[in-house]
Chain A
Amino acid sequence: MHDHLLSLLIWLPIAAGIVVLLLGERNIVAGRWLSLVASLVALALCVPLVRDFNTHTAAFQFVEKAAWIPRFHAYYALGVDGISMPLVVLTALMTIPVLIAGWQVITKRPAQYYAAFLIMEGLMIGVFSATDALLFYFFWEAMLIPMFLIIGIWGGPRRVYATIKFFLYTFLGSVFMLAALIYMYVKAGSYSIAAFQALPLTLTEQRWIFAAFLLAFAVKVPMWPVHTWLPDAHVEAPTGGSVILAAIMLKMGGYGFLRFSLPIVPDACRELDTLVITLSLIAVIYIGFVALVQQDMKKLIAYSSIAHMGFVTLGAFLVYAIVRSTGATQGAAMGMDGAMVQMISHGLISGALFLCVGVLYDRMHTRQIADYGGVINTMPVFAGFMVLFALANTGLPGTSGFVGEFLVILASFKASFWYSALAAVTLILGAGYTLWLVKRVVFGPVANDHVAKLSDVNGREFLILGVLALAVLALGVWPEPLLKIMEPSIQHLVSQAAATKIPV
């Protein structure tokens, strides 16, 4: 089974999704259960993936390789290392609450809804496990389609505007990446990402490729100033769409920087790292202020996501400033560790927060903060979860939200006092916008009759929020298992990023 574990993880959900689609809306009960079982099996498949993962090597594991398009030397090549494996597991994990959250809530074409999420799960796992650039690109673009449909069909009133904006932004960014990939294919004669990483490139070439990658990945992360699609997409997306968008899709941008930009064009990264870091710090501070004044809960969490993802790009690109400032790479791996942990943690926390908003939205059919107040009086259990996830979002130690931010702040001081100081502003701003949200929505006297009639979380909601709460706490109390998985790959990445590829 190990020889095809990744293929199973990709194609099993997709196949299940197709079956659910074929069963149609009339057999939705069977379709639902099939979806749930398939997603649970996918998560179960992650058990051997984690258990048998060799934590002593940076090499790709569980590799598969088959001819795909021989004309282009493109292979169906899969494999995971310490950077991608945790993201695969995160994807498999986060799909389950999405399916459960939609259980009784989605009444419009539920079979298609379930199928879309299952297919998307497979495609996203494909993104993280492809080791062939064309295959990567295939998954990268293909997964836009189900997300596009999810927002377009099950979205809110302005879904058309949001989907177009979302699609254009992400698709336009990606096209430049494709051009860069094709360029390198022509030079290297292969689409293998490893070949790209080994390919010598002049500084001019690297600059162009860097720019293409930056466009593609910055849109996905998203980084300021190409972030404005995210709040709109989140606001219009159904709960499940928001969860996957925040928890997984944004991570593809961060993953792209780690897998493509840093190892393939290290010299351009060295030259332009200040740009990326500046944009990251703008994300932390500018977006933090913008989040403060949002009146829509989903928009607030969307902006919070952008600010938190700023830590990912900051941590990833610290290596050059650290080398410039100290003459050695020590500390760079900590920044990248922080970036990775932040991605996993943000996946859990933002997903949970969007689920919380979904719980409220299902009952009140509004996302406006002003329509709430004193939810704790009628939904005490829910309030407990919401406060926990909010505190995790503020980076409270003991929760996963702390680990990544802490590591990035520690590492960034080595690069520059100002990086560290500006990044640490998130302690204040993050607490400000998150807890102000909690103050206005959760605490206080019952604000109106609608709040007075709220009923607390049901068993289904309790289950998904409870599991995520445990994950957030576990990762906060003992992050070492995750760090151990990543360590060799991160060290390898640091050496790649610090090397030069300019032909002499």
Chain B
Amino acid sequence: MNPHLLIAIPLAPLIAAVIAGLAGHRIGRAASHTITIAGVAIACGLSLYVLKQMYWDGVGTFNGPVYTWLVSDGVRIQVGFLIDRLSVLMMSVVTFVSLCVHVYTIGYMSDDPGYTRFFSYISLFTFAMLMLVMSNNFMQLFFGWEAVGMVSYLLIGFWYTRPSAIFANFKAFIVNRVGDFGFIIGIAALFSYTHSLSYTTAFAAAPHLAQQTLPVFGGVNALTLICVALFIGAMGKSAQVPLHVWLPDSMEGPTPISALIHAATMVTAGIFMVARMSPLFEHSSAALSFVLVIGATTAFFMGILGVVNNDIKRVIAYSTLSQLGYMTAALGASAYSAAIFHLMTHAFFKALLFLAAGSVIIGMHHEQDMRKMGGLAKYMPITAITCWVGGLALVATPFFSGFYSKDAIIEAVGMSHRWGSTYAYWCVLLGAYITSLYTFRLLFMTFHGEERFRKVHAGEGHEHGHDGHGEHGGHGVHEPHESPWVVTVPLIALAIPALLIGYFTVGKILYGNYFGSAIEVLPAHNVLGRMAADYHGPLQLALHAFLTAPFWLAVAGLFTAWLFVLKRPDLADAAAVKFAWLKRILDQKFYFDWFNEQVIARVSRGIGIGLWKAGDQGLIDGAVVNGTAASVGWLGGVVRRVQSGYLYSYAFWIVIGLAALLGWFLVHA
């Protein structure tokens, strides 16, 4: 493979981002979006070309350096690429979704004063994400890891005058840093054994590391510690419980980045990382059990929160948390291919759902509350249809892309015999019901039923009338409208793979050994291998699904949503009253935020103030420093007339002392 071509892939968006960022106000809006779209288009085209080369032309894995970052203590740390079937798939997904989002942004951000800045950020993000997935070493992985986090920080806080936005981006950065704390310890632990940061060395050392014991916490397996520490990093980036708290708040950012960063790409970095590290994780069953339990917990419990939320973007955000939990659970069951496969299908249908939600938000004149929507299918047919495609894919409707990936995960977890797999299986299985419930609730509340926006706006108009602004009353309802083509074309472009890609790729990616040596699974853990024995093509698989539990659970979810949203909305209110205690727990999101803000943040500030006031000011300055000065002053008072000035006196005595010392040495030298 041509290394120059590979370098061009991340470099094109980087250059575009720099130009749009530094000269955006000079070259103008059109030039800025043209140049960034061109940059990402180049990256996307080249990525697809490399994918073609690797898949159809049989070109082998590329693993080579780009430049030497530094040499320290004989350890050469290089920036370099590892391009195999895993990374090239990620590159293609990332750049394709990014391209769609770039085009969509033209419409979505058209009247935003930060237009060029936004394009610069999302191109910069694409660069960082590519560096992450293309890396062949832990330093560059960490670079990409932190760089995507930085751009996410900038983009969540894009509307920087909103207090909620700058709270959310600060929170996102800090929570991610908690994960990175684990991540860097994992890297350091690995380095201390292998003296290298390259993947190849680390993978080769895995069986050896599994035999080592680290003398901490009464002796732990070195590889388990490494894998758990690395996974803590993934928990931050891929928003797994309890480090998930930042993702719902990240919806403060503009919708295109919710689709690109907080659904399709960045949040899947943790999933990608664990799959990339499969040669390490495979040798530590304890770590994989940890991964499995965390993932399954996230999949089920975060999905529940999606059921009670009324903000269209936040519902999708909780859905993302839940789906990331599915991917994580798949990793924990050693079904890495299934995790990556779901990552890919999810990237398409979840980006689609977010962009569709964005289209609804534009159509509703920046309204995000689903209680004020309803019946929009009539006004926004393209948005409604594409959103339905995304929703059906999300609930794993047979033949849709999400079906092939999610059913495989449920089955794989069910077949796993790892510690925690029974619990995990129930979580991911019942999660199918929850997924269906919140998805159809969203679709019904938004696109069908009563046109509640009329009621709300009419009421407001009435109030305006009372306030003497009669002229506003005449406006009545802001009619929802379909979005312009720059918005709908990306929706369609994403709806196609959301619908079809599963059908056409499931055989290769899940059961056809697409990943080859890029993902390592020990024979004893190979649940997908056992599933492959029963695989007879995508059609068969989809037809068989009508006889399985996940399908009927999804139907039950559909029915529940229909009943509570469309048929008998009063039942939902009654349930909310009857189960008030449950509703409070869910409204408080299981009290994670409360704990972080009231306990952790408060205690940290308390420690800071305590150390500052009592330690620095009280003890060190008060008792020792100024105390010494005071006692010396007292002494000075006793030995009067020797001096009067503070500094002068000290300096004087010091000089006298020095002179005496020097004199002594001179005499004796």
Q: Which residues of A pack against B, CB within 8 Å? A: 163-165, 167-168, 171-172, 175, 178-179, 182, 185-186, 225, 228, 286, 289-294, 330-334, 337-338, 374, 376-377, 387, 391, 394, 396-398, 402-403, 406-407, 409-414, 417-418, 420-421, 424-425, 427-428, 431-432, 435-436, 439, 442-446, 478-480, 483-484, 487
CA A174 to CA B628, docked complex, whole Å: 18
Q: Are A483 and B70 in contact (CB under 8 A)?
A: yes
Q: Do A175 and B160 have beta carbons less than 8 Å apart?
A: no
List B contacts of A398 (CB < 8 A). Answer: 143, 146-147
Q: Please choose the segment from B84-92, B169-177, B485-493 that sits at the chain A interface, where 4 or more of its residues have CB less than 8 A away.
A: B169-177
1/0 contact trace for B64-75 toward A, CB 8 Å?
A: 000111111111
Cα A436 to Cα B67 with chains together (Å): 35
Nearest CB of chain B from residue A228's CB, rounded to whole Å: 5
- The DSSP consensus for interface residues of chain B is helix
A182→B143 contact, CB < 8 A? no
Please measure, in the bound complex, the distance between the C-alpha atom of A296 and the C-alpha atom of B305, giving whole angstroms: 40
8 contacts between A and B (CB under 8 A): A175-B654, A334-B73, A407-B72, A413-B191, A420-B185, A439-B167, A478-B69, A480-B69
Q: How far is the CA of A317 from the CA of B69 in the complex (A)?
A: 25
- Beyond A409-B188, A432-B604, is A186–B669 a contact (Cβ under 8 Å)? yes
Contact present for A167 and B604 (CB under 8 Å): no
Cα A129 to Cα B544 with chains together (Å): 79
Task: Give the distance to chain B from A340, nearest Cβ to Cβ, in Å.
Answer: 10
Are A427 and B184 in touch, CB under 8 angstroms? yes
B153 contacts which chain A residues (CB < 8 A)? 435
Annotate B298-316 by CB proximity to A: 1 below 8 A, 0 otherwise: 0000000000000000000
Q: Are B181 and A479 in contact (CB under 8 A)?
A: no
Give the docked Cα–Cα distance between A422 and B72 (Å): 22
By beta carbon, the residue of chain B nearest A484 is B71
Chain B interface (Cβ within 8 Å of chain A)? 67-75, 139, 142-143, 146-147, 150, 153-154, 157, 160-161, 163, 166-167, 170, 173-174, 177-178, 180-181, 184-185, 187-189, 191-192, 195, 214-216, 604-605, 607-609, 611-612, 615-616, 620-621, 624-625, 629, 646-647, 650-651, 654, 657-658, 661-662, 665, 668-669
Please determine whether A410 and B187 come into contact, CB atoms closer than 8 angstroms.
Answer: yes
How many angstroms between the C-alpha atoms of A374 and B162 in the bound complex? 10
Closest residue of chain A to B75 (Cβ to Cβ) is: A334
Closest A residue, CB atoms, query B628: A168
Q: Is the CB of A225 within 8 A of B620?
A: yes
* Chain A residues whose C-beta falls within 8 Å of the C-beta of B650 in the assembled complex: 168, 171
Residues from chain A with a CB closer than 8 A to the CB of B668 are: 186
A413:B188 contact, CB within 8 angstroms: yes
> In the complex the two chains form, is B139's CB within 8 Å of A406's CB?
yes
Q: Judging by beta carbons under 8 Å apart, are A175 and B658 in contact?
A: yes
Residue of B nearest to A291 (CB): B608
Q: Which residues of B contact A377 (CB under 8 A)?
A: 161
A418 in contact with B216 (CB, 8 Å)? yes
| Assembled-state Cα–Cα distance A103/B341 (Å) | 60
C-alpha gap A292/B174 in the complex (Å): 13
Other than the given A290-B616, A435-B173, 13 more pairs (CB < 8 A) read A172-B654, A289-B604, A289-B608, A397-B143, A397-B147, A398-B146, A418-B216, A425-B181, A432-B174, A432-B604, A478-B69, A479-B69, A480-B71
Contact of B70 with A479 in the complex, beta carbons under 8 Å: yes
- Tell me the interface secondary structure of chain A in the complex: helix
Whether the pair A424, B69 counts as a contact (CB closer than 8 A) is no
In the complex formed, the residue of A with least CB distance to B229 is A421
Complex: A182 Cα to B660 Cα, angstroms = 13
Q: Are B160 and A376 in contact (CB under 8 A)?
A: yes
Is there contact, CB below 8 Å, between A330 and B73? yes
Which residues of chain A have C-beta atoms less than 8 A from B157's C-beta?
443
Contact status B611-A286, CB under 8 Å: yes
Given A164-B647, A286-B611, A417-B216, residue A331 in contact with residue B73 (CB < 8 A) = yes
> Is A444 touching B161 in the complex (CB atoms < 8 A)?
yes
Contact B173 A431 (CB under 8 A): yes
A165 to chain B: which residues have CB within 8 Å? 625
* A292-B73 contact in complex given A420-B188, A428-B174, A443-B157, C-beta closer than 8 Å: no
When chains A and B are docked, how far (Å) is the Cα of A229 from the Cα of B650? 17
Query: Least Cβ distance of A358 to chain B in Å?
Result: 23
Contact of A435 among B170, B195, B608, B665 (CB under 8 A): B170
Q: Is the CB of B146 within 8 A of A337?
A: no
The winner among B174, B177, B611, B624 for most chain A CB atoms within 10 A is B177
Q: Across chains A and B, which 4 residue pairs bring their CB atoms closest together, nearest first?
A: A293-B608, A413-B188, A333-B73, A397-B143
A133 vs B351: C-alpha distance in the bound complex, in angstroms?
Answer: 66
- Interface centre among A410, A420, A484, by most chain B C-beta atoms within 10 angstroms, is A410
A338 to B146, CA, bound (A): 19
Q: Tell me the complex Cα distance, A420–B184, Å.
A: 9
